[in-house]
Structure formats: structure tokens, C-alpha cells
Amino acid sequence: MSDFEVIIYEKKDNKGYITLNRPKALNAYNIKMRDELFEALNAVNDDPEVAVVILKAAGEKAFCAGADLSEFLTAPPPVAARQVRFERDVWGLFLQIKKPIIAALHGYVLGSGIEMAMCCDIRVASDDAKFGVPEMGLGIIPAAGGSQTIPRLVRRGYALEMLLSGRWITAAEAKKIKMVNRVVPRAELLPAVEKIADVIRNHDRTALTCAKQAVVEGLDLPLSQGLELEARLANLLRY
């Protein structure tokens, strides 16, 4: 059911599956992928049949080895429009999706790959996953939200060490610093993610949306306002 070129979009049992599908280029994030993700994310957000989203990647070696280096950083300055298109706010959209998104992470999870994973709600990694933020080595800083999302998820010192040194970490270390929820053997990655998704999808849809909204929006609010938000959402569900 997918006309996309570099991603696959499928639906099964109220689960929306988005698969990054450029395995020969280690699923590097290019403009085409940006455009197709934008479309697929809007589709899952609006589709009443989809209760929960699974983000995964094709091929054995990588979830995503970062931005496509043959496109990114190579556009000459006059091609500003192209750059703007590259920056079309797929990351903002990721963070606004009302439905739970679970990332299934394997192999290389680098640069915009790790940043994409950070935009998800639950992260499950296979034991072969390697996480890194190599931007500093390219003389740039993360531009897909990583400087904000990583320290919001893991402690400041760990986030800064990854950003400033570019050191890659293993799945076990990612689990230790709470960057991922759990680590499973490679063969069990998708079944483990589907197991979580199957529990979630059987819950009331409005309650799911409200729970995600309460947590995601609430984290950016002072506690008193967060509690007000929770009360509003709880009332909404009651009546």
C-alpha cells in the first residue's frame, strides 16, 4: 500500500509501519526521505485506523547513518531554496504526532538517525545498535533537534559528551543512560516492538492521545501548569 520510493508505509491491525528503505546507503536521510516521511507522518496522524506507529528500517546494517552526505552540506549557497526544502519541518511534525510512536533501532543510529529516534516516544534497540552524534566532526551541530531532544532524554553530561566528543555508544550503554527503553537480540527486535504496540493499540484512542499530550506538553510546563493540563485532559475524558 505504499507508493513511496525511500520509505515503506504499511498498516496492519491498527498499527502504522513506517520503514526507512535505502538499505544500500545505510538508510541515509535525504530530501526524498524527508518529503516521504512528511507525507507518511501526516497520514498516520490523520488516519483513524492507526492507533500506534512503528518506525523501523530496512537492511541489516543500519537504522539510519545520518543525513545523506552526498546532498547535505554540498548544496552551493545560491541554492538556498533547496536548503530550505531540506529543512522542511519534518522534525517538528514528528514531535507533534498525536499517536504513540515506537522506534525499532538496529545497527548504525547516527546523526539525523539518532535525532529521528529521539522524536519517538518509546525506543527499543537491538543488541547490535550503535548510537552516535558525528556532527561535531563535520564542523556542524545537530540540526534535527538533537541538541534539544537528547539532553531532555538523557542527563546533560551524557548528552554533552556524545555531542562534543562524537563518541559512539553501544546499545547496552544507551540503555544504561536511558536513551533506549530496552535492548533485545536482533531477531527479536520487531516482535518486541510489536508486542508493545499491540498492548497500546487496544487502549481507548482518546485516552492514548490525552496521555501522550499530558506528558509531552507537560514536560515543557512548570508543574502547576502541567497539573492544570492534566486536569483539563482528565475532564475531557470523563465527559
Q: Tell me which residues touch ligand CO8 (CB under 6 A).
A: 25-26, 28-29, 65-70, 72, 86, 108, 110-112, 134-135, 138, 142-144
- How many Cα atoms occupy the beta-carbon half-sphere of 75 within 13 Å? 16
Q: Which is nearer to ligand CO8, 71 or 198 (CB)?
A: 71
Which one from 135, 173, 194, 230 is the annotated catalytic residue?
135
Q: Where are the alpha helices (DSSP H) in the chain?
A: 31-46, 80-86, 90-96, 112-118, 146-153, 156-165, 171-176, 189-201, 205-218, 223-238
Q: Provide, rounded to whole angstroms, the least separation between the CB of residue 19 and ligand CO8.
A: 17
Q: Which is nearer to ligand CO8, 19 or 30 (CB)?
A: 30
Sign of CA dihedral 170, 95, 235, 201: negative
Nearest-CB residue for ligand CO8? 111
Burial class (CB in 10 A: 0-12, 13-18, 19+), 77: exposed
User: Is residue 115 among the annotated active site residues?
Assistant: yes
The owner of cell 522534525 is: 91
Q: Provide, rounded to whole angstroms, the least separation between the CB of residue 48 and ligand CO8.
A: 31
* Beta-strand relationship, 101-105 and 122-126: parallel
User: Is residue 135 among the annotated active site residues?
Assistant: yes
Q: Provide, rounded to whole angstroms, the least separation between the CB of residue 145 and ligand CO8.
A: 9
Q: Which is nearer to ligand CO8, 70 or 206 (CB)?
A: 70
Q: Which is nearer to ligand CO8, 65 or 196 (CB)?
A: 65
Q: Which residues of 175-199 are buried (b: 16+ CB within 10 A; e: fewer)?
A: bebebbbebbeeeebbebbbebbee
Q: Which is nearer to ligand CO8, 135 or 194 (CB)?
A: 135
Q: Provide, rounded to whole angstroms, the least separation between the CB of residue 34 and ligand CO8.
A: 7
Q: Provide, rounded to whole angstroms, the least separation between the CB of residue 239 and ligand CO8.
A: 42
- The alpha-carbon radius of gyration of the chain (Å, integer) is 18
The DSSP secondary structure of 202-235, one letter per residue, reads TS-HHHHHHHHHHHHHHTTS-HHHHHHHHHHHHH
Which one from 49, 115, 173, 194 is the annotated catalytic residue?
115
User: Cα–Cα distance between 30 and 49 in angstroms, integer?
Assistant: 29
* Active site amino acids: 115, 135
